[in-house]
Amino acid sequence: MWFDLGIKLAVSALILGGVLSFAGMQTWLERKQSALMQDRIGANRAYFTLPWAWAAPINWLLRKLGGLGILNVLADVMKMFTKEDIIPAQGDRFLHTLAPFLSICFALLAFSAIPIGPDVELFGRTIPLQVADINAGLLAVLALGSLGVYGVILAGMVSGSNLATLGGLRAASQVIAYEIALGVSLVGAIACFGSLDLPTIVARQGQLLWGWLPRWGVFLQPLGCLIFMTAALAHTKRIPFDLPEGEPEIIGYFAEYSGMKFGLFFLTDFVEIVLVAALTTTLFFGGWQVPYLTPAGFQCPWGGSVPVSHLAYVGLGLLSFTVKVVAFIWFFMLIRWTLPRFRYDQLMTLGWKVLFPLSLANIAVTGVLVVLIT
């Protein structure tokens, strides 16, 4: 029992460490990517040196990292930890403190059902690279992701500020408008794969269509994939869907937050980007699957094979999942620095009058095709 518990803790630490690392490095990546797109240098001045003579090589490395802007991440964290934590006199002290923890907690818990790689055969045991093997894992992830918005709504309502309250109300209406389309867009994928279990969905994407095309969700459900990515991006409350923040007009639901409490909301945005990238990878782009790779090795559809060891198979699966997630994080940041913010009426129109009807039409077309094919 203790050995199994230790394995679960190790897998949990691996996933949690990876998610927080991706989320933390996004603060650097976003600065550098936006600078590259706008013909700027970006962050390049945050660094420190050690006062000892023997630390000259370390100081040289620190200057190089500072020139790349990587140490800005550390500087941001130190700044937030040292800033004064202010709670408005007219606000609720307990709920004001609870709100950011609710947001980050549910965002991190949603990763518990996502498989990041194939099962590992180690110490005579089969170790799934997944924290919780939930039969209806997709529903669990969607439910946990939805609960995070309660922290945002709570932050706006208990801050004692009209502008923060307006940000919380915007978040509530935005979630209602887009989560319906998000959930309905996945019905077609569920019908195609015949399961709500995420490892099963990933395993069935390892099959081939017509003997050569990977059976990924994006090929079976191209419209569903597009709707899901759009609605999920709206759920992260980032440009062009950042109306709950709305810096030019209302400042947002975190208007009365400072210090690390604001930092937790800031971190939650990046964790949700990683979650959306991981879900898109898992549901529509084969998860950790590598095309033509089986536990026995690469099996070419036109003949021939290349044997691969078990540990190499696991390593390639982890690498495949990581590369896909990083690619989607880059893509979502590309959207963030390319498109302007929607007006509020445009935001609601897109959710209710475009994405929701398209998701219903996708279900109808998918149902007809499934019946005809099977």
Q: What is the pLDDT of residues 3-17, one digit of tens each?
A: 778 888 888 888 888
In a domain, 11, yes or no: no
Asked if residues 44 and 69 have their Cβ atoms less than 8 Å apart, the reply is yes
In a domain, 349, yes or no: yes
Instruction: State the pLDDT at residue 50.
Output: 84
In a domain, 261, yes or no: yes
Task: Locate 80 and state its tokens.
Answer: 């937030």
The pLDDT tens digits for 143-199 are: 888 888 888 888 888 888 888 888 888 888 888 889 899 999 999 999 989 889 999
**Spatial distance between the Cα atoms of 104 and 88, rounded to a whole number of angstroms:** 22
- DSSP for 203-219, written as a single string: HHTTSEETTTEE--HHH
Task: Locate 229 and state its tokens.
Answer: 């990515």
Mean pLDDT of the residues in the chain: 87
**Spatial distance between the Cα atoms of 350 and 358, rounded to a whole number of angstroms:** 11
Instruction: Identify the domain containing residue 264 by its residue range.
Output: 87-373
Q: How many domains, in total, are found in the chain?
A: 1
In a domain, 4, yes or no: no
Instruction: State the pLDDT at residue 54.
Output: 85
This model's pTM is above 0.85:
yes
Q: Which residue in this structure is represented by tokens 């606000």?
A: 91
In a domain, 285, yes or no: yes
In a domain, 198, yes or no: yes
336 phi and psi angles, rounded to 5 deg = -60, -35
In a domain, 316, yes or no: yes
Exposed/middle/buried for residue 360 (C-beta within 10 Å: 0-12, 13-18, 19+): middle
126 phi and psi angles, rounded to 5 deg = -100, 115
In a domain, 7, yes or no: no
Instruction: State the pLDDT at residue 305.
Output: 82
